[in-house]
Structure 1
Amino acid sequence: MTRQCTGVAVRAESEINVAGGNPVNVGVRRGRIGMPLVDFDTFTVEAPDGWSDFTEEVEAEDPLYTLAHEDGVGALQFSLALYTAGRVPDPSPAELLDMVKEFGQKKRLGKATALVSESGPPVLAAGSFAWDEDFLRVWQVSDGRNFAFITYTCERQDAGQELATCEQIVRSIEFGRA
């Protein structure tokens, strides 16, 4: 899987010089862990500099929200289910982990590896799969009301390059904040 990215950063940093000659960054909102915020229409994540919204670059009729590094090796994609009414779902980490495993079974990806579940916030579960020549990491994430199904895909030999950053980005999700 080779990906060429030509997207534009969602939040561009600029510097201005103030008295004393020290540059100051302006125009960048930062999240709770200090990284720049990337806003989508129904959620916000924190991502390091160089990570951008590439949704418009995806060749699909109704593309998933897509985040990637401008010089990166993979893509992080988000699919959301937003709470509207009724009983609040409030899933447990174990329930989300079952959803990760079921996804792998339904897609015939084999047994998930590197399984993780956390009580949050956000509540999440994750697992990794070998998918033909590619690596696939899957997360099910919830704030108790809303759900995000998030995937990271890259060539198998590149799996370690961006995964730790993706783990941070996934854990920074805030629903309904854009």
Structure 2
Amino acid sequence: MKTELTINGEHHTLDADVRTSLLDALRHHLHLTGTKKGCDHGQCGACTILVNGRRINSCLTLACMHDGDAITTIEGIGAPDALTILQDAFVAHDGFQCGYCTPGQICSATAMLEEVKAGWPSHVSADLMAKPKLTVEEVSERMSGNLCRCAAYPNIVDAILSADEAAS
């Protein structure tokens, strides 16, 4: 099935079986291998990408469902010579160890920071009507869908808090 996708600002026409996950389309059909396949069941977050600005697990959705959508993968967030504030913070705070989960962590954190700016509360927000304030508990809750086998969580949280502070 032909599917039109805009990925990292570039138009792509994908011709793939309707059963092809968005993750497999990115990795195997479009050769964008920054997005990682972890569990392939939506439990680890390694495959997190942004679709129309919202974070999703790309292993849980079919590519053909995203005809016309704007997709951002880790390849579309910063560049080796022009890192985002968040990517710089991950480096500065050693927010990665083996690096396997890092693309999903950064995509998720990028969207999460936008959710906070938009005023979206989380399950640990004390006041659902107040603008959320990022704390260790808030970041931990909001990033709970992204697992790190190396247990770099304290560094990941510090990186996100640092990036939020630097962006403010």
TM-score, normalising length: structure 2: 0.30
TM-score, normalising length: structure 1: 0.29
Tell which structure's C-alpha radius of gyration is larger: 1
Whose helix fraction is larger, Structure 1's or Structure 2's? 2
